[in-house]
Amino acid sequence: MPIPEDVTGDEIDKDVRQELQSLPKTLAEDVAKNLVMVARLIDEDPEGAYGYSRVALRLASRVAAVREAAGFAAYASQKYSEALAEFRAARRMTGNVELWPVMADCERGLGRPEKALDMAGAPEVHKLDKAAQVEMRLVAAGARRDLGQLDAAIVTLQSPELASNSVQPWTARLRYAYADALLAAERKGEAREWFAKAVEADRDGSTDASDRLAELDGVEFVDVLDEDAVKDEPAESDDDAQS
């Protein structure tokens, strides 16, 4: 796949670069460039990122960082079975548990919420850092909702992290998930309160909490470029034009 001229491969994380040192220099450079493209495209063009990840995988399947990148690209493309296989491979290579939450979410994607809940209660969770533990809580709550257990999902999200006034990288998403679960349980007043709290914490616009809050408040946004809306407007009469 084509690599833009501005991509050198030096943009990758230093830990990944260190992993690639086990490869011949030219091969390492090619793999690095493909990994840069995965990172560049994964949010806006998951299928494109997936394509570059497959190239990197063909070149260096024995490098854990490559397997992990391939897993995230497959995950972003909703290829959950493939993503899970890559995450498992990366975990076998490194022994790390940091991928545990996203592996559990792959189980959800495969229609196995019970398996995700089993993983949420596994000893590996205690080895996760705080951010990953919050992520695991979000996955577990999602699994409860998959099973139609709305009250259990709400309880799962209730935690010291949710109650804290401190804003952390996960705060907006945690508050948003809690608000969404409350709304699904028809607890509209509480949902509005938590969507508002999510807006306060969402400094980089990672959620659509502000839109959800506006929707609950009955605010409607009109696209001024909407051709249908323009057509529905009454035509200006000659009298109006002359006034």
Q: Mind listing the pLDDT tens digit for each residue in 63-95?
A: 999 999 999 999 999 999 999 999 999 999 999
- What does the alpha-carbon distance between residue 182 and residue 180 come to, in Å, rounded to a whole number? 5
CB 209 within 8 A of CB 176: yes
Is pLDDT above 50 for 230?
no
Q: Is the model's pLDDT at 135 over the cut of 70?
A: yes
Which of the four pLDDT bands, split at 50, 70 and 90, describes residue 241? Answer: very low
Q: What angle do CA 196, 217, 204 make, to 5 degrees?
A: 35
Pick the more confident residue, 233 or 8. 8
Q: Which two tokens stand for residue 147?
A: 């099973």
What CA–CA distances, in Å, run from 53 to 110, 156, 198?
21, 34, 33
Q: pLDDT tens digits, residue range 5-45? A: 899 988 888 899 999 998 999 999 999 999 999 999 999 99
Reduced to 3 states, what is the DSSP secondary structure of residue 224?
Answer: coil
Quote the pLDDT of residue 180: 96
The Cα–Cα gap between 173 and 190 comes to 16
Distance of CA 238 to the CA centre of its chain: 54
Q: What is the pTM (predicted TM-score) of this model?
A: 0.84
Say which amino acid occupies 103: M
Q: Please tell me the predicted confidence (pLDDT) of residue 243.
A: 41
Mean pLDDT, the chain, rounded, equals: 91
Locus of tokens 């998403």: 173
Please state at what angle helix 171-184 crosses helix 150-157, rounded to 10 degrees. Answer: 160
Q: Looking up tokens 């996760």, which residue turns up?
A: 128
- Measured CA to CA in angstroms, residue 52 lies from 1, 3, 10 at distances of 7, 9, 17
What letters, b where the CB count within 10 A reaches 16 and e where it falls short, cover 59-81? ebeebbbbbbbbbbbbbbbebbe
Q: Which residue has the tokens 């490559």?
A: 66
Q: What is the pLDDT of residues 91-100, one digit of tens each?
A: 999 998 999 9
- pLDDT at residue 13 in the model: 87
Token pair recorded at residue 187: 């607890």
pLDDT digits (tens, 9 = 90+) for 169-205: 999 999 999 999 999 999 999 999 999 999 999 988 8
